[in-house]
Amino acid sequence: MNRRFLSGLMIAFLPVAMALIGAVMMQTRLETRLMKDAETRLHAELDSYAALYDQRRIIAVRQAMEFRATTGETGDTGALFMLLDRQGEVLAGNLDSWPNDLTRPAEGEAPVVMPLALEKDGQDMTHLVAAQPLRGGFAMLVGVGLAPLNDTMAAFRRIVLGFAALMAAAGLLVAWAMSYRAERQMLALNRALDDIGRTRGLEQRLAGQEGEGRGEFATLRAHINAMLDRIAHLFAAHGRLGDTVAHEMRTPLARIQSQLEKLDIDAAARAGLDDEIRATIRLFDSLLSIAAMDAEAGSSAGLDPLDLSAVCEGIVNLYQPVAEEEDRHLEAAILPDAMILGDGQLLAQMVSNLVENGIKYTRPGDMVRVSLSDAGDQVVLRVSDTGPGVEGDVGETLLRPFARGAGTEAKPGHGLGLSLVRAIALRHGAVLRLPETGVGFAVEITFRRYAP
């Protein structure tokens, strides 16, 4: 049973249940009322026979019953009547014998009134009967048939159940249609938001659905679009701020650098100052890049299908001679043709940072290994080394900007390499882990494969 049918059933259940409770209450009231009518008719019969007995004695009652029995005049209600003498012999009536279930009341006792099931003329019928003693030891039985009452109640139940079934079906249909529409709108909304988040970027807005009108979904869409406007505005302001900060900081540095040339200082001192400026710019670029990529994390806007294997191989080839000069073994085990959605420059920078860290924080003779392996619809990039690793349980704090491992203060750097790697991984929707290693240090990044 699908979800939409269940939600339709739940929506339809309440009104149908309420209608059924109302119908049961009506049925009880109607049944009570009809039973009262039957009792009234029964008492009218009793009263008329009692009046006849009082005025003209037993003979008149007997003649009246015989006449009704002979003519079959019992009305359309299946009336019963019977007269017994002192010995219990039947004097008149339309029954063969006094019913076993009915106690014959003694003279002076109150009449006995009760419903009674009898077989009459080959049919099982229910009656409301009254047994009344008459003066002189006679007894009289009078009954009215309950068949019309039962027929009316049965017809009422049929009508109520029929309507309940119709109401349930109609409710289910309406609820199903409503939930189908709501679910379709929700699906379209989710798809559109996913599209905005992952692919098309913040310049896109939610478009209205056909026939959506001006309901709650239209209001929700308007609210989401207003929020997207605000986010896009903040995002653009963030980008402008980054560009402005970049411009305002780089331009004066460029002036300083050009003035340096005019200073009468030795070449080594100037080269040192140039290196300082370059390092400052690199630090500043890394911070701006981390902020920009954090803002774009998970969005595929600006990313293209590319071969991560080729990026890894390119960086390994670039650093191979450096590793050899530094007496490190740079090894690669790269799965071919691993296509992902990415930015080639950022990914190259990520792999380059990891390999550089591997070379920088290991000892001569150590190994740095770059592997790219298959994991179903994912590919796992792992850069590991056999160096001294990181002291203490620093875990993921190493991924924060300016965090550095204990004992690495003497090495050049600002502690931004790994946080830039983390930001680039997040920008690509990849998951970065620092797995436990027996020896050395490892970083593992899991990318989703590109499926065209």
Partner 1 sequence: MAEKERILIVEDDRDMGAVFRAACAELGYEPVLMTSYTDAIKAAPLSRYAMAILDRLLPDGDGIDAIAELKRAGTIPAILVVSALAHAGHRVDGLERGADDYLPKPFAPEELRARIKALVRRGRAQATDNDFLVFGDLEIRIRARTVHFRQEFIPVSPKEFELLMYFATNAGVAVTRMQLLEHVWNLHFDPQTNVVDVHVGRLRRKLEGATGLAFIRTERGAGYLFDPNGGQAE
Residue closer to partner 1 (CB basis): 50 or 249: 249
Give the strands of the sheet with 442-448, arranged side by side: 329-334, 367-375, 378-385, 442-448, 431-433
Residue closer to partner 1 (CB basis): 230 or 278: 278
* CA distances, 240 to each of 81, 101, 245, 287, 293 (Å): 105, 100, 8, 15, 14
Closest distance to partner 1 from the beta carbon of 278 (Å): 7
* CA distances, 432 to each of 112, 345, 350 (Å): 91, 19, 12
Residue closer to partner 1 (CB basis): 36 or 255: 255
Give the DSSP per-residue string, 9-64: HHHHHHHHHHHHHHHHHHHHHHHHHHHHHHHHHHHHHHHHHHHHHHHHHHHHHHHH
Q: Which burial class, exposed, middle or buried, applies to 422 when counting CB atoms under 10 A from its CB (0-12, 13-18, 19+)?
A: buried
Closest distance to partner 1 from the beta carbon of 227 (Å): 26
Residue closer to partner 1 (CB basis): 8 or 417: 417
Residue closer to partner 1 (CB basis): 65 or 316: 316
Residues that bind partner 1 (CB under 8 A): 243, 246-251, 253-258, 261, 267, 270-271, 274, 277-278, 281-282, 285, 288-289, 292, 302, 314, 317-319, 321-322, 325, 343, 345-346, 348-349, 352, 356, 359-360, 412-413, 417
Q: Which residues in 287-320 are b (16+ Cβ under 10 Å) and which e? A: bbbbbebebbeebbeebeebbbbbbbbbbbeebe
Closest distance to partner 1 from the beta carbon of 179 (Å): 45
Closest distance to partner 1 from the beta carbon of 359 (Å): 7
Closest distance to partner 1 from the beta carbon of 322 (Å): 5
Q: Is the distance from CB of 446 to CB of 380 less than 8 angstroms?
A: yes
Residue closer to partner 1 (CB basis): 171 or 358: 358
Residue closer to partner 1 (CB basis): 250 or 449: 250
Q: Roughly how many angstroms between the first and final C-alpha of the chain, as a whole number?
A: 34
Distance CA 164, CA 378 (A): 54
Closest distance to partner 1 from the beta carbon of 277 (Å): 6
Closest distance to partner 1 from the beta carbon of 428 (Å): 14
Host H or E run for residue 201: none
